[in-house]
């Protein structure tokens, strides 16, 4: 009789996922997991298995399908609870999902996003000045001074979030994605986050502008059936998290990758690869999201030979799928900006797949390509100020990056 695999326990404190992913992939494309608090779930890790799972008609996002939650077995302060219960696109199915997505999709079409290019370039150059000033002693935190304020500023302007709210929103959303947070802290952070977002919405309701929050409020007020207050707050929450945390990690990870692979940076400089190639290879090789919660089979489902019982919370293992040798070859763990696209054009799944494919993908790609090109044009000798293995990792198994990225924008004197 075959012994069932030992469940994988993702470390709530985070850490680099790739070594564990390789061990799990060697065992199979799907694995049982034990989440914080002893909650049993599953993770889909293999590229093909994940692609099948993400678009399977028997898989839902609505937490009413989450058996343990429905039966009252999930505590209030569970650190992953917001991922399951927030009201918005990422937890809606079918007609509800299409309704919510339609309300914001026009702001993220490739044409509308391309219109943002001059503003993104302007903000990027301002932040590069800030990065230069911050490196008065030769070293500055690129994540804090550049990779964070760029996407946070862009999504803040799109949503009409006043600057006074932005730093607090980043701090609170960071706590939402932290998987090791204590129950009381999780409850307090969520309560404060809802309050800040309600204040943002109230400010826009009183002083409407040419921004997405004002448009969402108008849709709510004109026809309450289109968007309820809870869905409004949930939509703002999801867009702020997805609109800056993912791109923040993407830019940070791309800079780390290029600094650690100077030969790849040189290929871009010689014109043998593009900045867009850098972005796509970073998304594959070091996905900004490692394990994303949750999806639930509505009936027992067999994926790559493994049964996932109905109602099981399932993590989408994007960082594992990106380095799956079965999909990307024996050199899947090598960073290669000239890596050819797969025949099915699915170079990676790091921005999702199927009906829930990331709505902000064009914006994330544009921000990252503009940021990287202008960063290395301005500081061609930019390098890490500490060894890669000394960089502290994010305290989450959802996000995949480092807490800070100390860099030397300019060469040392005499260096």
Higher per-residue pLDDT: 11 or 341: 11
Say what the pLDDT of residue 293 is: 95
Q: How do residues 362-399 score in pLDDT, each as one tens digit? A: 999 999 999 999 999 999 999 999 999 999 999 999 99
For residue 101, is pLDDT > 50?
yes
The pLDDT confidence band at residue 182, using thresholds 50, 70 and 90, is confident
Higher per-residue pLDDT: 34 or 231: 34
Say what the pLDDT of residue 415 is: 47
Say what the pLDDT of residue 343 is: 65
Say what the pLDDT of residue 28 is: 95
Q: How do residues 117-129 score in pLDDT, each as one tens digit? A: 999 999 999 999 9
For residue 276, is pLDDT > 70?
yes
Secondary structure (H, E, C), the chain: CCCCCCCECCCCCCCCCHHHHHHHHHHCCEEEEEEHHHEEEEEECCHHHHHHHHCCCCEECCHHHCHHHHCCCCCCCCCCHHHHHCCCHHHCCHHHHHHHHHHHHHHHCHHHHHCCHHHHHHHHHHHHHHHHHHCCCCCEEHHHHHHCHHHHHHHHHHHCCCHHHHHHHHHHHHHHCCCCCCHHHHHHHHHHHHHHHHHHHHHHHHCCCCCHHHHHHHHHHHCCCCCCHHHHHHHHHHHHHHHHHHHHHHHHHHHHHHHHCHHHHHHHHCCCCCHHHHHHHHHHHCCCECEEEEEEECCCEEECCEEECCCCCEEEEHHHHHCCHHHHCCCCCCCCCCCCCCCCCCCCCCCCCHHHCCCCHHHHHHHHHHHHHHHHHHCCCCEECCCHHHCCECCCCCECCECCCEEECCCCCCC
Say what the pLDDT of residue 262 is: 97
Q: What is the mean pLDDT of residues 300-306?
A: 96
The pLDDT confidence band at residue 105, using thresholds 50, 70 and 90, is confident
Full-prediction pTM beyond 0.75? yes
Q: How do residues 222-270 score in pLDDT, each as one tens digit? A: 665 567 888 888 888 888 888 889 999 999 999 999 999 999 999 999 9
For residue 324, is pLDDT > 60?
yes
Say what the pLDDT of residue 316 is: 98
% of residues, the chain, pLDDT over 90: 66
Say what the pLDDT of residue 150 is: 95
Mean pLDDT, the chain, whole residue set = 91
For residue 78, is pLDDT > 90?
yes
């Amino acid at each position: 009789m075959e012994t069932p695999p030992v469940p994988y326990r993702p470390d709530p404190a985070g850490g680099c996922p790739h070594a564990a992913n390789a061990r799990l992939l060697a065992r199979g494309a799907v694995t049982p997991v034990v989440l914080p608090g002893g909650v049993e779930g599953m993770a889909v890790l293999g590229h093909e298995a994940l692609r099948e799972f993400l678009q399977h008609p028997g898989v839902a996002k609505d937490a009413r399908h989450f058996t343990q939650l429905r039966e009252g077995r999930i505590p209030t302060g569970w650190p992953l609870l917001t991922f399951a219960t927030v009201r918005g696109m990422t937890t809606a199915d079918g007609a509800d999902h299409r309704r919510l997505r339609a309300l914001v999709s026009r702001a993220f079409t490739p044409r509308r996003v391309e219109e943002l290019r001059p503003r993104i370039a302007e903000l990027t150059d301002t932040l590069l000045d800030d990065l230069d000033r911050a490196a008065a002693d030769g070293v500055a935190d690129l994540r804090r001074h550049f990779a964070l304020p760029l996407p946070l500023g862009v999504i803040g302007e799109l949503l009409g979030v006043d600057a006074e709210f932005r730093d607090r929103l980043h701090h609170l959303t960071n706590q939402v994605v932290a998987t090791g947070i204590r129950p009381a802290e999780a409850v307090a952070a969520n309560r404060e986050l809802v309050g800040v977002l309600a204040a943002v919405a109230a400010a826009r309701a009183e002083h409407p502008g040419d921004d997405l929050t004002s448009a969402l409020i108008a849709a709510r007020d004109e026809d309450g059936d289109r968007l309820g207050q809870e869905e409004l707050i949930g939509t703002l929450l999801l867009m702020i998290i997805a609109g800056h945390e993912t791109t923040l990690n993407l830019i940070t990870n791309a800079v780390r990758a290029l600094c650690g692979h100077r030969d790849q940076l040189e290929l871009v400089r010689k014109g043998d690869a593009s900045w867009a190639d850098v972005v796509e290879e970073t998304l594959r090789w070091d996905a900004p999201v490692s394990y994303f919660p949750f999806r639930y089979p509505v009936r027992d489902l067999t994926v790559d030979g493994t049964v996932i019982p109905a109602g099981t919370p399932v993590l989408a293992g994007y960082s594992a799928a990106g380095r799956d040798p079965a999909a990307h070859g024996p050199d899947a763990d090598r960073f290669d900006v000239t890596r050819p696209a797969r025949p099915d054009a699915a170079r990676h799944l790091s921005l999702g797949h199927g009906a829930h494919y990331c709505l902000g993908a064009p914006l994330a790609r544009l921000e990252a390509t503009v940021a990287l090109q202008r960063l290395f044009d301005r500081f061609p000798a930019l390098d890490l100020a500490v060894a890669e293995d000394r960089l502290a990792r994010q305290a989450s198994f959802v996000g995949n990056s480092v807490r800070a990225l100390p860099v030397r924008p300019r060469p040392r004197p005499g260096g």
